[in-house]
A = this chain, B = another copy of it.
Amino acid sequence: MRARDLAQEFPTVDLGDDALVAARTMAESGRPGLVVLDEKGRACTVLPGSQVLRLAVPVYVQSDPHLARVYDEKAADELFGKLSGRTVRDLLPDPHDHAELPVVDPDATSIEVAAVLARMRSPLAVVSDGDRVLGVITVSRLLRALLPAADPASEGEPGGPVSNGEPELR
C-alpha cells in the first residue's frame, strides 16, 4: 500500500491566517495539530496545539500552573481573545525548517512511511507531491495498514487486557 492510498484529509492553515482562527480550527477538528501551508500552498510545518496555548497563557502561569486558579472564565476569554490580530506565523516556535517536516511522497511504501515517522518520532506524516498536500498519514492509520491480522488464540481472552475507550472527537 502506498502513501497516496493512506492519506487522510487534515485541517490546514496558512502562515498569514489569524491565530484565533487557527485555534478554532484546532478546537473543531479534534486534531492535536494543523498542517501549515506557505505562501505557495506547500506544507511548511505542523503547528502543535500546545503552541497555541503557549501564546495565550502567561509565562508565569506556565511556570506555576496553580497560579491559574486566579483566572475566572471572563479572564480566560481575554487570554484567548488576545490571539486575534496575531497570525499563525507568530504562533510557530522557531523559524520553521522544512527539512524537519515529516514529508513523504505519494509513492512511498507503508514501511517507508513507518521509517520516517519512527526516525522523526512524529505522530503524522504529510503526503505531498512537492507542490500540493494530498493529506496526512497518522501512526494509527499506518498501524491499521501494517499490522498482521489478529490471531485471537495467541492473545488471551476476547477483548484483551486493554481498556479500549471509544474514541471521541468532540
On A, residues with C-beta under 8 Å from B are: 1, 8-14, 17-18, 20-33, 48-54, 56-57, 61-69, 71, 73, 75-77, 79-81, 84, 104, 108-124, 135, 138-144, 146-148, 150, 154-155, 160-170
* Residue with the highest number of chain B CB atoms closer than 10 Å, among A51, A52, A150: A52
A62–B139 contact, CB under 8 A? no
- Name the one of B48, B75, B148, B155 contacting A81, with C-beta atoms under 8 angstroms: B148
- Name the one of B12, B64, B165 contacting A29, with C-beta atoms under 8 angstroms: B165
What is the predominant secondary structure among interface residues of chain A facing chain B?
helix
Q: In the complex, what residues of B have CB within 8 A of residue A20's CB?
A: 147, 155
B65–A144 contact, CB under 8 A? no
Q: In the complex, what residues of B have CB within 8 A of residue A139's CB?
A: 26, 32, 48-50, 52-53
Copy number in the complex reads 2
